[in-house]
Chain A
């Protein structure tokens, strides 16, 4: 069974940092690209970042470029999102999601349960 489990969310002050982790199981992690998608309270879905299976291809949404960094550790079946210089508008549930094909840019076929990040003073 494919599982994705996020952790690391919580309350952080504006300008602060937080690191999200997503540990996966049930598939060969090193063969798939991974993504982070967020959803602000009561709002729609916003793609945040993607990383290819071997970390050679990385892309970010303009709203987080220069502040967020996506990375992965294939030995630990994990993908990470380092979030710096956080703003109130970064408050959201952050989902990790698997790319549905061997290509890094793809639809998302499996999603985690999400981690809530609240940015507030």
Chain B
């Protein structure tokens, strides 16, 4: 099975900083990659699908890129409401594996 590895596992950045989270697949998955945000005590929320398509209603601060094995989620200007754990997920085929998550905090 394809493994999904996220880095870093956690990060702390200042308000207004540009933040980048990386997700690497152990084999190529084309662009079948989604990103989710889970705020503390809340349900996961879809941010990006097809590696770079922004889900309706999601802030344009968020963007996704990549194809094949290497993907990134970028927050262009970190805001306090972005404190959350971010997960990538592959959906090219079952199993629909998630990455281990990246915890984003404010410095």
Footprint of B on A, CB under 8 Å?
35, 37, 44-47, 50, 59, 61-62, 95, 100, 105-109, 111-114
Chain B residue at minimal CB-CB distance from A110: B46
**A44-B98 contact, Cβ under 8 Å, with A106-B91, A109-B55:** yes
Contact partner of B98 among A46, A59, A111, A112, CB < 8 A?
Answer: A46
Interface SS, B side: loop
* Cβ A44 vs Cβ B46 within 8 A: no
CA distance A45 to B84 in the complex (A): 14
Q: Could you say which residues of chain B place their CB within 8 Å of the CB of A107?
A: 34, 46, 49, 89, 91
* Cβ A111 vs Cβ B97 within 8 A: no
Instruction: Indicate whether B93 reaches chain A with its CB closer than 8 angstroms.
Output: yes
Q: Could you say which residues of chain A place their CB within 8 Å of the CB of B38?
A: 45
Q: Could you say which residues of chain B place their CB within 8 Å of the CB of A105?
A: 91-94, 96
Report how many residues on chain B are interfacial, defined by Cβ distance under 8 Å: 24
Q: Could you say which residues of chain B place their CB within 8 Å of the CB of A114?
A: 43
* Cβ B95 vs Cβ A62 within 8 A: yes
* Cβ A112 vs Cβ B96 within 8 A: no
Q: Could you say which residues of chain A place their CB within 8 Å of the CB of B55?
A: 109
Contact partner of A47 among B45, B46, B98, CB < 8 A?
Answer: B98
CA distance A107 to B96 in the complex (A): 9
Chain B residue at minimal CB-CB distance from A47: B96
Q: Which 9 A-B pairs have the closest CB atoms?
A: A107-B34, A59-B94, A47-B96, A107-B49, A45-B98, A44-B101, A111-B43, A109-B46, A107-B91
* Cβ B93 vs Cβ A44 within 8 A: no
- Between A and B, 22 residue pairs with Cβ closer than 8 Å are A37-B44, A44-B85, A44-B100, A45-B89, A45-B98, A45-B101, A47-B98, A59-B94, A59-B95, A62-B1, A62-B95, A95-B43, A95-B44, A100-B49, A105-B92, A107-B49, A107-B91, A108-B44, A108-B46, A109-B49, A109-B55, A111-B44
Min CB distance A21 to B, Å, is 17
* Cβ B43 vs Cβ A50 within 8 A: no
Chain B residue at minimal CB-CB distance from A63: B95
Given A45-B38, A46-B98, A95-B43, 11 new contacts (CB under 8 A): A37-B44, A44-B100, A45-B44, A47-B89, A47-B95, A47-B97, A62-B1, A62-B95, A107-B89, A108-B89, A111-B43
